[in-house]
C-alpha cells in the first residue's frame, strides 16, 4: 500500500493556532519517547518528522499533509521530557485540549465522549522481549474489545525495521 507524499504544513502550541481541519486527521498520541514521530516517518516512508533518542523533542503539535488526502498529526508526548519548565508549562493548554489528556485512561474516556475512532499501536516491538510483548498484546487486545470506538486490531510495529508498517498504513488508508 502506498502512502501519499507528506509535507509539514503547520505547528501549533495553542488550540487557537490549530489549522482549520479541512481533511481527515490521524493523530499520534502517547507517552514521551515511544516512537510516535518515528512511526509517522515510517508510515510516509520519509524523514520529514524530526526524531530523537531523548524524550521531549516534539514540543508542539505538528501537522503534516499527506498529498491532500489526510493530515497526520504528531503530538508532544505526555510524561517526561528534556525541556525547560517554561516550555512544559506551555504544554498544559495542549494537554487538556481535546484529546491530549495526561493519562491514558482519560484518553480513552475522551475518545468515547467524542466518538472518535482509534486504534492501539505498540511501537518499538523489536526492542521488547517476546514474552513481555505477548503479555502486553493480550492486555491491549482486551482493552480494544472493551471500547466501542476502538478498532479491534492491535498493531505491533517497528518503525526502525518497518515491521507491520504496511498493515498499519493499509488500516489508516481505509478509515
Q: Is residue 14 part of a domain?
A: yes
How many domains are contained in the chain? 1
pLDDT (tens digit per residue) in 12-37: 988 888 888 888 888 888 878 888 88
Q: Is residue 22 part of a domain?
A: yes
Confidence of residue 102 (pLDDT cuts 50, 70, 90): very low
> How much is the mean pLDDT over the chain?
78
Q: Is residue 131 part of a domain?
A: yes
Q: Is residue 1 part of a domain?
A: no
Residue 115: what pLDDT? 73
Residue 92: what pLDDT? 39
Residue 24: what pLDDT? 86
Place of cell 499520534: 28
Confidence of residue 89 (pLDDT cuts 50, 70, 90): very low
Q: Which domain holds residue 153?
A: 6-173
Whether residue 1 has pLDDT greater than 80: no
Q: Is residue 121 part of a domain?
A: yes
Question: Residues 118, 151: contact at Cβ < 8 Å?
Answer: yes
- CATH number where 168 lies: 3.40.50.300
What is the rounded distance in angstroms from the CA atom of residue 126 to the CA atom of residue 83? 28
Indicate the pTM of the whole model. Answer: 0.78
Question: Residues 33, 162: contact at Cβ < 8 Å?
Answer: no
Which residues are CB-neighbours of 33 under 8 A, at least 6 positions away?
Answer: 53, 54, 55, 56, 77, 80
Higher-scoring residue by pLDDT: 145, 81 = 145
Please report, for residues 24, 38, 85, 93, 114, the alpha-carbon distance to residue 35 in angstroms, rounded to integers and kept in the order given.
Answer: 22, 5, 23, 23, 25
Range with the poorest average pLDDT among 50-59, 71-80, 101-110:
101-110
Amino acid at each position: 500500500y502506498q502512502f501519499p507524499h507528506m509535507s509539514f504544513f503547520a505547528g501549533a502550541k495553542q488550540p487557537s493556532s490549530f489549522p482549520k481541519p479541512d481533511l481527515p486527521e490521524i493523530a499520534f498520541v502517547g507517552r514521551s519517547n515511544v516512537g510516535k514521530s518515528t512511526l509517522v516517518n515510517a508510515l510516509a516512508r520519509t524523514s520529514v518528522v524530526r526524531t530523537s533518542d531523548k524524550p521531549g523533542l516534539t514540543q508542539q503539535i505538528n501537522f503534516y499533509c499527506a498529498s491532500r488526502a489526510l493530515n497526520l498529526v504528531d503530538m508532544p508526548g505526555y510524561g517526561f521530557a528534556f525541556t525547560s519548565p517554561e516550555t512544559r508549562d506551555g504544554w498544559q493548554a495542549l494537554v487538556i485540549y481535546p484529546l491530549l489528556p495526561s493519562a491514558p485512561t482519560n484518553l480513552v474516556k475522551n475518545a468515547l465522549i467524542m466518538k472518535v475512532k482509534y486504534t492501539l499501536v505498540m511501537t518499538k516491538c523489536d526492542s521488547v522481549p517476546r514474552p513481555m510483548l505477548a503479555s502486553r498484546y493480550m492486555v491491549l487486545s482486551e482493552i480494544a474489545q472493551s471500547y466501542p470506538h476502538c478498532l479491534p486490531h492491535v498493531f505491533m510495529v517497528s518503525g526502525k525495521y518497518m515491521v507491520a508498517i504496511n498493515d498499519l498504513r493499509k488500516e489508516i488508508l481505509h478509515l
